[in-house]
């Protein structure tokens, strides 16, 4: 992920927007940030390339760590509303990390006369994935306003690390040592899938052919939309918030999950967008991450595989589309190929950087929509005396047309969209179509919404 930053179109930065019910006191907010960098030591580490760039980049302590270089505050321009906040988030996301410092920054933004505030956080994906962020938030954000106002105490010292040579050697050994095991487990799942489906010898050729085709679609699905074929480096952020309970209830009407419901929203919006531009029908290439940790979320960060699925853009009602998406995701998660991409990416650190960049551009460039669904803190949470109202995440596009991330917080689900204006040229209309499809899907649970 770090080395992909060599190509500006492939950067894997993540932008989060935490909306707060009030403006926290600045000195207390800084004290809180300092404490967090102690209990989360990686926030004080920077990325360093190993000698000769052999193996993966390594973490090393930033001996000159300066909190003021990472935490800032601004006042949003008038009227200080949602659009101005998203514009700020776009600007923060477009900034480039200083490689001599830990790859994160936070901006406290005051929202005009409303009395509210927001924290815009940018971090590099190599720091953590969604599961890691959630664990940190659940563990560290207090449950009450009063608790968040107490001095948290002095942060522990950041740990010292081994020399870059030693860390590089361990990382290279880990990469080369773990990949065969992951590939072997993928092969075992593949063989089990063949054996399970083949009740007679005559079934085997058809099953093998189907799995080979599935493998091709897992690596890259060529059925992308011609309307979204262009790619650029600009970003446009759009966001929608909705009651989490309503989204869950809508999914249950078709026996589907929250993830299926939010992908249905996106697929419906893209179908409407294609009809708006005279390109009805066709297929949308959708990338769906699959967690392949052996030991669950505690097994580490950024351990995911990926599937690329073809979503139909034909016109249909929200319930039928939801049922279709739910069935598509169930089939995808049962495939024995789901973990293969994660096994193969274990070898990425030993690839020459030009090969890594070319392969990533090819596979990601044909993905119209990248999706991710992350459960957030399932309770009220506070920071420096301010209550966290909602959480929005804008994931990296990595040369795709749009990345959509759903993250919940307490009773609210926030949908963050990172849209490429070169692919989705009419971003205003697309944002309205997303809002329309949110209403249509939520109406499945509560017909009175219509």
Would the pLDDT of 299 be above 70? no
CB 292 within 8 A of CB 305: yes
DSSP state of 51: G
Q: Give the span between the Cα atoms of 394 and 404, in whole angstroms.
A: 7
Strands 13-20 and 386-394: antiparallel
Greatest CA separation for the chain: 73
| CB-based burial, 142-180: b 16+ in 10 Å, e otherwise | beebeebbeebeebeebeeeeebeebbbebbeebeeebe
Q: In 3D, which of 323, 411, 396, 397 has the Cα closest to residue 365?
A: 397
For residue 300, the model assigns a pLDDT of 47
**pTM for the whole structure:** 0.84
* pLDDT single digits (tens) 361-400: 877 878 899 999 999 999 999 999 999 999 999 999 988 9
Q: Give the span between the Cα atoms of 183 and 192, in whole angstroms.
A: 14
Q: Going from the N-terminus, what domains does the chain have, and what CATH number goes with each?
A: 3-151 (3.30.559.10), 166-371+397-449 (3.30.559.30)
Would the pLDDT of 184 be above 60? no
Q: Give the span between the Cα atoms of 396 and 402, in whole angstroms.
A: 9
Would the pLDDT of 440 be above 50? yes
Gap between the terminal Cα atoms of the chain: 44
Q: Which residue has the tokens 């690596």?
A: 219
Residue 334's H or E segment, with its range, is helix 318-334
* pLDDT single digits (tens) 122-161: 999 988 888 888 889 999 999 999 999 876 666 656 555 5
Percentage helix, strand, coil, to 5, in the chain? 45, 20, 30
For residue 382, the model assigns a pLDDT of 96
């Amino acid at each position: 992920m770090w080395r992909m930053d060599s190509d500006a179109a492939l950067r894997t930065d993540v932008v989060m927007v935490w909306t707060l019910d009030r403006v926290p006191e600045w000195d207390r907010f800084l004290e809180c940030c300092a404490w967090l960098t102690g209990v989360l030591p990686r926030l004080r580490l920077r990325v360093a390339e190993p000698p000769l760039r052999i193996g993966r980049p390594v973490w090393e302590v930033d001996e000159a760590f300066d909190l003021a270089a990472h935490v800032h505050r601004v006042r949003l321009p008038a009227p200080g509303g949602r659009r101005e906040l998203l514009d700020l988030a776009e600007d923060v996301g477009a900034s480039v990390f200083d490689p001599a410092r830990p790859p994160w920054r936070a901006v406290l933004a005051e929202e005009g006369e409303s009395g509210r505030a927001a924290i815009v956080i940018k971090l590099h994906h190599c720091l953590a994935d969604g599961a890691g962020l959630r664990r940190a938030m659940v563990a560290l954000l207090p449950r009450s306003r009063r608790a968040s106002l107490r001095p948290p105490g002095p942060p522990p010292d950041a740990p010292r690390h081994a020399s870059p040579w030693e860390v590089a050697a361990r990382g290279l050994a880990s990469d080369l040592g773990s990949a065969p095991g992951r590939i072997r487990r993928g092969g075992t799942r593949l063989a089990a899938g063949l054996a399970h489906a083949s009740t007679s010898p005559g079934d085997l050729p058809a099953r093998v052919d189907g799995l080979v085709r599935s493998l091709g679609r897992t690596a890259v699905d060529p059925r992308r939309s011609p309307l979204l074929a262009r790619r650029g480096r600009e970003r446009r952020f759009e966001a929608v918030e909705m009651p989490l309970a309503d989204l869950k209830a809508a999914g249950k009407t078709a026996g589907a999950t929250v993830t299926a419901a939010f992908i249905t929203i996106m697929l419906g919006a893209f179908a409407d967008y294609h009809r708006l531009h005279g390109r009805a029908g066709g297929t949308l290439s959708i990338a769906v991450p699959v967690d392949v940790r052996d030991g669950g979320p505690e097994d580490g960060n950024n351990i995911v595989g990926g599937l690329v699925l073809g979503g139909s853009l034909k016109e249909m009602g929200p319930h039928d589309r939801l049922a279709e998406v739910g069935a598509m995701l169930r089939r995808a998660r049962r495939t024995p190929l789901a973990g293969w991409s994660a096994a193969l990416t274990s070898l990425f650190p030993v690839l020459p950087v030009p090969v890594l960049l070319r392969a990533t551009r090819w596979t990601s460039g044909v993905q119209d929509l990248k999706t991710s669904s992350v459960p957030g803190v399932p309770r009220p949470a506070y920071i420096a005396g301010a209550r966290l109202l909602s959480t929005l995440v804008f994931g990296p596009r990595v040369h795709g047309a749009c990345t959509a991330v759903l993250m919940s917080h307490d009773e609210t689900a926030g949908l963050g969209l990172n849209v490429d204006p070169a692919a989705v040229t009419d971003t205003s209309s697309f944002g309205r179509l997303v809002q329309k499809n949110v209403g249509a899907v939520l109406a499945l649970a509560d017909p009175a919404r219509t």
